[in-house]
Amino acid sequence: MFAPALATISLFSGVGLCKLYENVADLPSLHYDFVVVGGGAGGNTVANRLTEDPKISVLVLEAGPSNAGVLDAQIPFLSNDFGNAAGPYSWNYTTTPQAGAAGHVFNYLQGHLLGGSSSHNGMAYTRGAAADFDRYAKLTGDDGWSWNKIFPYFLKASENHDTAGQFNPAVHGTKGAISVSISGYSWSDFEQRVIQTTKELPDDFPFNLDMNSGKPLGIGWLQYTIGNGERSSSATGYLKPKVIQRPNLDVLLHAQVSKLINFTRTGSPGPPGTPTFGGVEFRQGTSMFAARASKEIILSAGTIGTPRILLNSGVGDRNALQALGIQTMVDLPSVGKNASDHPYTGLTWTVNSNQTADSLYQNATVFNEALAQWNKSRTGPLVDSDPGTHAGWLRLSPDSPAFAVHADPSPGPDAPHFEILFQPSGLGAPGNSISLAMAMISPVSRGSVSLSSNDPFAPPLVDPGLFANEFDALALAEGTDLLFKFLSAPAWNHDGYLGAPVVDLTTMTPAERVDFVRSHAGPGYHIVGTAGMSPNGAQYGVVDPDLRVKGIAGLRVIDASVLPIVPAGHTQAATYVVAERGADLIKQTWE
Ligand SMILES: Cc1cc2nc3c(=O)[nH]c(=O)nc-3n(C[C@H](O)[C@H](O)[C@H](O)COP(=O)(O)OP(=O)(O)OC[C@H]3O[C@@H](n4cnc5c(N)ncnc54)[C@H](O)[C@@H]3O)c2cc1C
Ligand SMILES: *[C@@H]1O[C@H](CO)[C@@H](O)[C@H](O)[C@H]1NC(C)=O
Ligand SMILES: *[C@@H]1O[C@H](CO)[C@@H](O)[C@H](O)[C@H]1NC(C)=O
Ligand SMILES: *[C@@H]1O[C@H](CO)[C@@H](O)[C@H](O)[C@H]1NC(C)=O
Ligand SMILES: *[C@@H]1O[C@H](CO)[C@@H](O)[C@H](O)[C@H]1NC(C)=O
Ligand SMILES: *[C@@H]1O[C@H](CO)[C@@H](O)[C@H](O)[C@H]1NC(C)=O
Ligand SMILES: *[C@@H]1O[C@H](CO)[C@@H](O)[C@H](O)[C@H]1NC(C)=O
């Protein structure tokens, strides 16, 4: 494909980025009230909210470069190509061989630039089910994580201005930091058929005006973190020039934190004798530096980066640390455990129509015209991610044989087991096609993030645990029936629109289908849980419900890794609300 090559042209240089520092030598200080490790979805949110108080100083240390001028991070349509390749904006992680997924080793994408994965992701904005948050409240013993208590943070984190009739304004904010919108370019033939199907097969596929109301079940218009034809990320939304220019906020790029340092047993704040870390060690270029935090260190390095730093610092399972020759500072066996992710598989059907996005992938002239249009007016087909126009959120049939293998892992009857993404393209397949991608979004499987060596810069072992539990494979295989059922509606067939599936699962035995799913699914990059919340005093878990690392003073984790179980939705919306509430919890501590 040619899109990736075009997509790395840079429009701006790093010059004139104000208080976004490229070089540690230019930083005015290495001593702040708070040091935030990682400028991703969680970290930038926290940095913004803490520096609303001009008396509080914050340093953000981000391993990657700036997002400014990176077209892959700016043009929504390019997110897919951006995602598929290792490059300077990606951590280049690979998974351990996934025994449940035919032994495959996957690239495990994570953003390595300001904005983190929010500068790198597919931009779908989905909150999950109310029951996901109510379950978090139950698992942590803190009602503050329940849907009703968290709801105001959704409004604070995002704003939605869009076409009436495609979402419900009552459940959205108008002044939040991140822009959210419905597809800005219309693939109307495809869109009408999706909506028509909800009328023809309403029992299986009811229309849902707004999947972000807490009750996602049904089919509706997909919302994206896109505004004015451009990606809205934590870098563009929470670190706007006005925020970056605050005298109490500094952001240092190209700064990779290796570990926490200056461990003491008599640290303050916290009860006397509670251990604390005074600062962090980081690398820029080939040199090592240290930064101090007098109030708190906030780890926001993401679900892979955060446990990596904790383990490098001797915070983790004593036996595992010992085996690597790392001295244990705090024995916290859950660090890096309980990872959960969403396995996705995609199916493609040829269609007798040229009203699909395929020519953008197949014909350089078409793509270049679209790029010129985007560049000139922020309009045209590149204003959408991927593009997927709708999503569906559905449940496994109550009499599914999968329930004989494991009890229902979903948090309640209003929460889905599956997501379907409806895409008017074959994503590079020849001819004109449409694709339906499906994910198993309430997985039983758990994986882990662990260290491969005591070198803090060595790649970690990333095991998203895909289909580690058979339930997930059985459920997803059964769920693919729904894709064929959806496309059996007259809407797709009355005029010969729908052609053949590239792979016809309907002719397979159930066992063959399970094999197909295991060998054709990949990770969703929605990994959470490696620094999971648990109740105060619990014998497992990594952070308390107020996001403080158990048994350590002055250290919190504020990113996706604290979610104990992956929600039934793409994970950025949940990460933003964790960070919004996390910032409030810090403010309450220091008020
Ligand atoms: C390819 C892809 C597609 C996705 N698609 C979607 C989607 O469509 N919708 C959705 O809602 N979610 C999506 N997600 C998931 C979503 O982006 C993440 O859940 C969310 O960004 C997590 O936020 P975070 O703050 O935990 O981590 P991140 O946003 O990844 O931020 C972590 C930051 O920390 C930095 N960092 C890591 N280690 C260190 C270190 N040692 N020192 C300094 N800095 C460090 C990283 O470079 C990064 O900037 C996708 C993710 C990926 C990777
Ligand atoms: C990922 O790999 C690319 C290509 O080899 C390289 O340019 C980039 O620096 C790597 N990224 C990281 C974070 O190491
Ligand atoms: C570590 O502690 C020493 C004194 O014990 C102090 O001089 C130094 O600044 C500290 N470094 C950091 C990064 O906190
Ligand atoms: C994983 O989380 C569950 C709760 O969801 C808990 O019971 C279990 O102890 C955790 N396991 C580890 C290794 O932390
Ligand atoms: C698309 O199809 C229509 C009618 O089927 C045809 O008139 C038109 O020329 C086609 N356009 C392209 C670019 O192939
Ligand atoms: C590519 O698109 C251009 C512009 O629509 C068209 O003229 C050309 O024939 C197409 N090329 C191919 C190989 O289809
Ligand atoms: C966008 O337009 C500007 C001039 O208007 C041009 O310099 C630049 O190269 C264009 N960028 C792309 C990616 O087409």
Pocket-testing residue among 356, 361, 365, ligand 6, by greatest number of atoms within 8 A of Cβ: 365
User: Residue 435 C-alpha to ligand 6 middle, in angstroms?
Assistant: 23
Measured CA to CA, the distance from residue 467 to residue 343 in angstroms comes to 8
For ligand 3, whether the C-beta of 31 sits within 6 Å is no
User: Residue 274 C-alpha to ligand 7 middle, in angstroms?
Assistant: 56
The overall average pLDDT reported for the chain is 93
Which pLDDT value is given to residue 279?
Answer: 97
pLDDT in tens, 37-96: 999 999 999 999 999 999 999 999 999 999 999 999 999 999 876 666 677 899 999 999
In this structure, are residues 454 and 388 in contact, taking their beta carbons and an 8 Å threshold?
no
Q: In this model, does residue 268 exceed pLDDT 90?
A: no
Residue in 168, 87, 72 with CA at minimum distance from that of residue 122: 72
In this structure, are residues 238 and 251 in contact, taking their beta carbons and an 8 Å threshold?
no
pLDDT in tens, 331-341: 999 999 999 99
Question: What average pLDDT does range 308-332 have in this prediction?
Answer: 98
Q: ω into residue 409 within 30 of 0, thus cis?
A: no
Pocket-testing residue among 11, 371, 373, 378, ligand 7, by greatest number of atoms within 8 A of Cβ: 11
User: Residue 459 C-alpha to ligand 3 middle, in angstroms?
Assistant: 28
Residue in 348, 346, 345 with CA at minimum distance from that of residue 521: 345
In this structure, are residues 235 and 39 in contact, taking their beta carbons and an 8 Å threshold?
yes
Whole-angstrom CA distances from 22 to 30, 42, 116, 288 are 14, 21, 16, 15
Measured CA to CA, the distance from residue 14 to residue 114 in angstroms comes to 12
Which pLDDT value is given to residue 79?
Answer: 87
For ligand 7, whether the C-beta of 9 sits within 6 Å is yes
pLDDT in tens, 500-558: 999 999 999 999 999 999 999 999 999 999 999 999 999 999 999 999 999 999 999 99
Q: Which atom of ligand 3 is nearest to the CA of 262?
A: 1
Indicate if the alpha-carbon torsion angle 569, 122, 384, 227 is positive or negative: positive
Q: Tokens for 516, please give them.
A: 């197909």
Which pLDDT value is given to residue 374?
Answer: 97
Structural domain total, the chain: 1
Q: Residue 308 is inside which H or E element, if any?
A: helix 302-312
Q: Tokens for 393, please give them.
A: 């959120």
**Which residue lies with its CA nearest to atom 4 of ligand 2?**
87
Q: In this model, does residue 14 exceed pLDDT 70?
A: no
Decide if 166 is inside a domain: no
Alpha-carbon Rg for the chain, nearest whole angstrom, is 23
Burial 175-212 (b: 16+ CB within 10 A, else e): ebbbbbbbbbbebeebbebbbebbebbeeebeebebbb
Q: Which atom of ligand 2 is nearest to the CA of 92?
A: 1
> Which pLDDT band, with edges at 50, 70 and 90, does 309 fall under?
very high
Decide if 128 is inside a domain: no
User: Residue 338 C-alpha to ligand 4 middle, in angstroms?
Assistant: 6
Looking at the chain, the whole-number percentage of residues with pLDDT higher than 70 is 94
User: Residue 89 C-alpha to ligand 1 middle, in angstroms?
Assistant: 11
Domain that holds residue 359: 80-110+181-224+341-446+458-523
For ligand 2, whether the C-beta of 92 sits within 6 Å is yes
Q: Which residues' Cβ are closer than 6 Å to ligand 1?
A: 37-43, 61-64, 83, 109-112, 116-118, 120-124, 256-257, 300-303, 305, 309, 525-526, 559-560, 570-573, 575
Per-residue DSSP letters for 75-105? Answer: SGGGHHHHHHS--TTB--EEBPPBGGGTTB-
For ligand 2, whether the C-beta of 120 sits within 6 Å is no
Greatest pairwise CA separation for the chain in angstroms = 75
**Which residue lies with its CA nearest to atom 1 of ligand 4?**
338
> Which pLDDT band, with edges at 50, 70 and 90, does 270 fall under?
low
Number of residues written out for the chain? 591
Q: Tokens for 572, please give them.
A: 């950025």
For ligand 2, whether the C-beta of 145 sits within 6 Å is no
Q: Residue 153 is inside which H or E element, if any?
A: helix 147-157
Residue in 488, 491, 478 with CA at minimum distance from that of residue 395: 478
Which amino acid is present at 451?
L
User: Residue 90 C-alpha to ligand 1 middle, in angstroms?
Assistant: 10
In this structure, are residues 50 and 583 in contact, taking their beta carbons and an 8 Å threshold?
yes
DSSP 222: P
What count of Cα atoms within 13 Å lies in the side-chain half-sphere of residue 553? 19
CATH number at residue 371: 3.30.560.10
Q: Which atom of ligand 4 is nearest to the CA of 564?
A: 5
User: Residue 72 C-alpha to ligand 7 middle, in angstroms?
Assistant: 14
Decide if 317 is inside a domain: no
> Which pLDDT band, with edges at 50, 70 and 90, does 358 fall under?
very high
Which pLDDT value is given to residue 429?
Answer: 77
Of 106-110, 204-208, 264-268, 303-307, the range with the lowest mean pLDDT is: 264-268
For ligand 2, whether the C-beta of 112 sits within 6 Å is yes
Q: In this model, does residue 432 exceed pLDDT 80?
A: yes
Q: Which residues are annotated as a binding site?
A: 257
For ligand 6, whether the C-beta of 266 sits within 6 Å is no
Of 264-268, 385-389, 438-442, the range with the lowest mean pLDDT is: 264-268
Residue in 504, 183, 501, 492 with CA at minimum distance from that of residue 353: 492
**Which residue lies with its CA nearest to atom 13 of ligand 6?**
363
Which pLDDT value is given to residue 83?
Answer: 61
**Which residue lies with its CA nearest to atom 2 of ligand 3?**
262
In this structure, are residues 342 and 568 in contact, taking their beta carbons and an 8 Å threshold?
no
pLDDT in tens, 556-582: 999 999 999 999 999 999 999 999 999
Q: What is the 3-state secondary structure (H, E, C) of 430-489?
A: CCCEEEEEEEECCCCCCEEEECCCCCCCCCCEEECCCCCCHHHHHHHHHHHHHHHHHCCC
pLDDT in tens, 179-228: 999 988 999 999 999 999 999 999 999 999 999 999 999 999 999 999 99
In this structure, are residues 506 and 478 in contact, taking their beta carbons and an 8 Å threshold?
no
For ligand 6, whether the C-beta of 366 sits within 6 Å is yes
Measured CA to CA, the distance from residue 58 to residue 78 in angstroms comes to 33
Pocket-testing residue among 34, 257, 262, ligand 3, by greatest number of atoms within 8 A of Cβ: 262
Question: What average pLDDT does range 303-314 have in this prediction?
Answer: 98
Burial 38-75 (b: 16+ CB within 10 A, else e): bbbbbbbbbbbbbbeeeebbbbbbbbbbbbbebbbbbb
Which pLDDT value is given to residue 215?
Answer: 98
Check 120, 254, 417, 526 and give the catalytic one: 526
Of 6-20, 210-224, 235-249, 294-308, the range with the lowest mean pLDDT is: 6-20
Decide if 526 is catalytic: yes
Decide if 415 is inside a domain: yes
3-state secondary structure of 330: strand
Whole-angstrom CA distances from 214 to 126, 133, 218, 362, 435 are 10, 9, 12, 39, 26
Decide if 519 is inside a domain: yes
Q: Tokens for 46, please give them.
A: 């926290």
For ligand 6, whether the C-beta of 507 sits within 6 Å is no
Q: Which ligand is nearest to the CA of 263?
A: 3
Q: Which ligand is nearest to the CA of 367?
A: 6
Q: What residue has token string 């640390």?
A: 321
Decide if 173 is inside a domain: no
Residues 6+ away with beta carbon under 8 Å from 454: 312, 324, 325, 326
Decide if 537 is inside a domain: no
Question: What average pLDDT does range 220-248 have in this prediction?
Answer: 96
Whole-angstrom CA distances from 487 to 14, 28, 382, 513 are 48, 60, 26, 18
In this structure, are residues 72 and 79 in contact, taking their beta carbons and an 8 Å threshold?
yes
Whole-angstrom CA distances from 553 to 273, 277, 559 are 9, 8, 18
In this structure, are residues 84 and 61 in contact, taking their beta carbons and an 8 Å threshold?
no
Decide if 515 is inside a domain: yes
Indicate if the alpha-carbon torsion angle 457, 558, 156, 571 is positive or negative: positive
> Which pLDDT band, with edges at 50, 70 and 90, does 16 fall under?
very low
Q: In this model, does residue 17 exceed pLDDT 70?
A: no
3-state secondary structure of 178: strand
For ligand 7, whether the C-beta of 375 sits within 6 Å is yes
Q: Which residues are annotated as a binding site for FAD?
A: 257
Which pLDDT value is given to residue 82?
Answer: 64
Q: For residue 282, what are the β-bridge partners?
A: 257, 289
- pTM equals 0.96
3-state secondary structure of 122: coil
DSSP 555: E
Q: In this model, does residue 1 exceed pLDDT 60?
A: no
Q: Which atom of ligand 2 is nearest to the CA of 89?
A: 11
User: Residue 375 C-alpha to ligand 7 middle, in angstroms?
Assistant: 6
